[in-house]
């Protein structure tokens, strides 16, 4: 029966939720991976696999929500709370652009103080200094929070942010889009319907976004499929998701540290199932940030067609004790050793010209050399 379901998906036929759930009961990882890889090659017959260069800049860690799974946030009165100075923010972006980056991932906590004009000013300031930069910013929990703080509709908030320079929307804060799960692991945060509504309105305004899933905590297998189904339904409606990324919950240093973390087997299995199920989302990103280089590379034959971001900086997962670093050379080598040509792309999965790409490669090589000389090679070794 599993073989027939896989043949169906490989042929381009849509799986039902019941069939998706049946796939979660299959532990033949090679079989699932082979089918997912076949779907990827049907959707992406090209000889290359992609990556992008960006930086995850967390402009604040102050957050009014309480997420049991998050090691990064600090309450409004916590002395460890911070808001980045604008000069520091712009310097981080300058360094990213110098390394060939065309994008920043700009996210923060749900800060209780700032009104929408503060965020508009931040976006405008960034774009005035770096007009070519794409700001991939403000996850749905943040956007929904802005509507409450400012007593504005989603459409008004998103329109104003877009006019100020917001380029695309990340899929953060999805976790599992089932309210039973969300109620168990977080308080004071957007629910499933409102997360989807943020994305719906953004897509209606012509915006593009990514979709995510963090699994391996309190959810059931059925709820994982329900999450995928809700994403697929919204994509049918709007077509606005460019990519899907999933990763396993990282429990260290969180209030859920007693949860046994899932390993590479479950990660690759879930990603393969996602590729088979999400027939209308064109791209799947590897999550090497949580899985490390080798599993991140293996993900490229388990349904992913993209290595994701070089991620010059990452703070949220790192706070949970998971610290994997890749150089651009390592990322490109991971792709090329599988027989693909590594190519740099933008948020729309459009390729940069080879001259731009070559300059980025050289800039990163020199940057890594400087960093390694300064730290005797310790900081950038793989964890």
DSSP 299: G
Supply the pLDDT for residue 80. Answer: 84
CB 59 within 8 A of CB 106: yes
Give the pLDDT score at 319: 47
Neighbours of 313 (CB within 10 A): 15
For every residue of 216-276, DSSP letters joined together read SSS--HHHHHHHHHHHHHHHHHH--EEEEEEEE---TTSTTTTSPPP-HHHHHHHHHHHHH
- Where helices occur in the chain by DSSP H, the ranges are 2-10, 17-24, 29-43, 86-98, 116-129, 140-150, 154-164, 179-185, 192-204, 221-238, 264-277, 288-291, 293-298, 316-319, 328-336, 354-375
Quick one: pLDDT at residue 213?
97
The alpha carbons of the chain give a radius of gyration, in whole angstroms, of 20
How far apart are alpha carbons 312 and 7 in whole angstroms? Answer: 39
pLDDT tier at 315, thresholds 50, 70, 90: low
Average pLDDT of the residues in 290-313: 91
Q: At what angle do helices 116-129 and 86-98 cross, to 10 degrees?
A: 40
Q: How many CA atoms lie within 13 A of 13 on its CB side?
A: 9
Interval 163-186 mean pLDDT: 95
C-alpha span between 43 and 12 (Å, rounded): 10
- Give the residue-averaged pLDDT of 122-142: 97
- Domains of the chain, start order: 19-370 (3.20.20.70)
Q: How far apart are CA 161 and CA 383, in angstroms?
A: 37
Question: In this predicted structure, what is the pLDDT of residue 324?
Answer: 60
**Residue with more model confidence, 377 or 137:** 137
**Helix, strand or coil, per DSSP, at residue 68:** coil
Distance CA 87, CA 331 (A): 30
> What pLDDT, on the 0 to 100 scale, is given for residue 59?
92
Question: Tokens 């949860």 label which residue?
Answer: 259
């Amino acid at each position: 029966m599993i073989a027939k379901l896989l043949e169906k998906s490989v042929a381009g036929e849509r799986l039902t939720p019941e069939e998706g759930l049946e796939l979660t009961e299959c532990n033949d990882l090679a079989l699932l991976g082979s089918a997912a890889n076949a779907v990827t090659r049907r959707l992406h017959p090209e000889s290359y696999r992609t990556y992008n260069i960006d930086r995850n800049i967390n402009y604040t860690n102050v957050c009014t929500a309480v997420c049991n799974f998050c090691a990064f946030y600090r309450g409004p009165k916590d002395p460890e709370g911070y808001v980045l100075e604008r000069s520091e923010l712009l310097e981080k972006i300058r360094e990213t652009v110098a390394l060939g980056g065309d994008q920043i991932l700009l996210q923060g906590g749900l800060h209780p103080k700032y009104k929408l004009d503060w965020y508009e000013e931040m976006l405008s300031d960034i774009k005035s200094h770096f007009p070519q930069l794409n700001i991939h910013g403000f996850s749905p929990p943040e956007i929904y929070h802005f509507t409450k703080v400012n007593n504005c509709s989603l459409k008004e908030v998103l329109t104003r942010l877009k006019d100020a320079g917001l380029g695309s929307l990340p899929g953060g804060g999805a976790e599992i889009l089932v309210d039973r799960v969300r109620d168990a692991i977080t308080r004071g945060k957007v629910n499933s319907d409102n997360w989807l509504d943020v994305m719906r309105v953004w897509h209606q305004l012509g915006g593009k976004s990514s979709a995510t899933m963090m699994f391996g905590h309190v959810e059931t297998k059925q709820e994982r499929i329900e999450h995928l189904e809700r994403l697929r339904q919204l994509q049918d409606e709007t077509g606005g998701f460019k990519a899907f990324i999933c990763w396993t919950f990282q429990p260290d240093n969180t209030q859920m540290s007693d949860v046994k973390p899932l390993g590479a087997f479950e990660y690759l299995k879930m990603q393969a199932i996602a590729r088979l199920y999400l027939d209308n989302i064109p791209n799947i990103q590897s999550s090497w940030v949580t899985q490390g280089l080798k599993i991140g590379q293996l993900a490229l034959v388990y349904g992913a067609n993209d290595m994701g971001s070089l991620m010059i900086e990452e703070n949220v997962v790192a706070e949970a004790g998971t610290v994997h670093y890749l150089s651009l050379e390592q990322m490109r080598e991971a792709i090329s050793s599988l027989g693909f040509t590594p190519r740099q792309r933008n948020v729309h999965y459009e390729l940069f010209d080879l001259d731009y790409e070559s300059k980025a490669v050289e800039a990163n090589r020199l940057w890594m050399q400087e960093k390694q000389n300064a730290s005797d090679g310790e900081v950038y070794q793989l964890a």
